[in-house]
Amino acid sequence: MGLIRAPAVSGTFYPEDPRELAASVSRFMAYAETPTTDGVPKAIIVPHAGYVYSGAIAGRAYATLKKASDKITRVVLLGPAHRVAFKGVAAPKAESFKTPLGLVSIDQPAIASVAELTQIVRRDDAHRDEHSLEVHLPFLQELLGAFSLAPFVVGNASAAEVSEVLDRLWGGEETLIVISSDLSHYEDYETAQRMDGATATAIEELRVDGISQPQACGRIPVCGLMTTAKRRGMNVRRVDLKNSGDTAGTKDRVVGYGAWSFHDGPEESDEVLIDRHRAEILRVAGASVRYGLAKGKPPAVDIKTFAPDLQPHRATFVTLKRADKLRGCIGTVTAHRPFVEDVVQNAYAAAFRDHRFAPLQADEAKDTAVSISLLGKPKAMSFADEADFLGQLRPQIDGLIIRDGDRRAVFLPQVWEDLPDPNTFLSHLKRKAGMQEDHWSDRFQAWRFASTSTDKKISEVK
């Protein structure tokens, strides 16, 4: 039978009884019968705490794989070392790993295919007491049935070294990549939310330099996957983001948990995203204005009650018009809070805090239309002079951000409808930024961005 790695955290991190364990794992995956996408992920990031804390978050990620459960025959699983300090990426000498649900065979050909890499070491001691891999095996056993496993514990290694291992083992639809990591550790609830939100944004934007060690115990394997994913042109979708204060712990010292899925091919367009959630985002914008009229403040937002597609950080503008005339417009050009919360806050601000207008009154609301614009990521422009810059502008397409020193302004693409000439468009934007219309300097900077919009009268959104 060969050397078997025995379970180390059975009965503590997860149930020891096989029937109870199988039922628990099935229940966590059943909670998530509505994956964020119809596509099947090539890779997932999942947390590795005790099931009472992070099992439901992990279950949502594994549920996205159900459609491919009959195709996946090999799992490449990487997680951080918690028990043993060592240099490199550790493969086991064991021939199988055991859980209460049975044995999982180690993919010896896969291990052999990376053994020549200088970062690979063979160390059973790195695996013996390590929980970051073990807690995922019951999920994989329940989901896939029979499969082979290529498990690696990541010690003192670089993201590039992990990426090299992943590239060697990437395979086709038969291979699933699983990266194990928790997020922030032992911060208060609000601090953890801020830290984990920043980590989530970095993962979704594939910014390896946006994640530091305090943000994720599995930072190196996570960044290794991000490195490979960016090179392969993959896109990332958030599955869930919580902390132990949301699941089974107090809120004074929490641990963060997140799950993400990585997909081949181009990222889903904002047009598709808006089309899917048009009614919901218009509803929350209208509700924010009505709540502001009644309470004098924006409503609180429970992000977890909204679709996962509306939870990632995005930048939006909310525009109010009455009789086709501007009645308020407030937004953000940099994503810094969840999509739905940004809509709620900007809708309230457009109605009551735009300094160009008096606060919206109740008798105006029924005739006021609300428009929500979802901004794409701004892209820096490069130009030799103002003529070159003007020649690059794309009327009816580009939103534009300009900055010179501490003066800055933004126009949405919709502004082209009223200012179709590039010279006029730029002159008005300069004036909005507090510059002279003929202003130009070597410090002048600009960014273009796309925008997708939807609109409706406030009185018509419920």
Q: What is the mean pLDDT of residues 64-82?
A: 95
158-167, 330-339, 436-445: segment of lowest average pLDDT: 330-339
Residues 6+ apart with CB under 8 A from 113: 168, 169
**382: exposed, middle or buried (Cβ count in 10 Å: 0-12, 13-18, 19+):** exposed
What is the per-residue burial (b if ≥16 Cβ within 10 Å, else e) of 183-199? Answer: bbbebebeebbebbbbb
Share of the chain above pLDDT 90, in %: 79
Q: Is the pTM of this model over 0.95?
A: no
pLDDT exceeds 70 at position 37: no
Residue 459 has a pLDDT of: 57
Residues 376 and 45: their CA atoms lie apart, in Å, by: 25
Instruction: Work out whether the CA dihedral 282, 285, 288, 289 comes out positive or negative.
Output: negative
Could you tell me if 163 and 224 are in contact, meaning their C-beta atoms sit under 8 angstroms apart?
yes
Domains of the chain: 4-263 (3.40.830.10), 269-462 (3.30.700.20)
Could you tell me if 369 and 455 are in contact, meaning their C-beta atoms sit under 8 angstroms apart?
yes
**pLDDT tens digit string along 54-71?**
999 999 999 999 999 999
Tokens of 221: 């394997």
Neighbours of 251 (CB within 10 A): 13
**pLDDT tens digit string along 92-120?**
999 999 999 999 999 999 999 999 999 99
**pLDDT tens digit string along 174-219?**
999 999 999 999 999 999 999 999 999 899 989 999 999 999 999 9
Residue 35 has a pLDDT of: 44
**22: exposed, middle or buried (Cβ count in 10 Å: 0-12, 13-18, 19+):** middle
Residues 157 and 222: their CA atoms lie apart, in Å, by: 12
Residue 298 has a pLDDT of: 95
Mean predicted lDDT score pLDDT of the chain: 92
pLDDT exceeds 50 at position 34: no
Confidence of residue 38 (pLDDT cuts 50, 70, 90): low
Listed residue (299, 335, 332, 297) closest to 314, CA to CA: 335
Radius of gyration of the chain (CA): 25
> Which string of DSSP letters, residue by residue, matches 404-422?
ETTEEEEE-GGGGGT--SH
Q: What is the mean pLDDT of residues 430-454?
A: 92
Q: What is the mean pLDDT of residues 408-431?
A: 93
> For residue 62, what is the DSSP state?
H
End-to-end CA distance of the chain: 64
pLDDT exceeds 70 at position 285: yes
Q: Cα-Cα-Cα-Cα dihedral of 192, 195, 198, 204, to 10°? A: -60
pLDDT exceeds 90 at position 450: no
Listed residue (60, 63, 216) closest to 132, CA to CA: 216
In this predicted model, which residue has the larger pLDDT, 455 or 222?
222
Task: Report which residue type is found at 315.
Answer: A
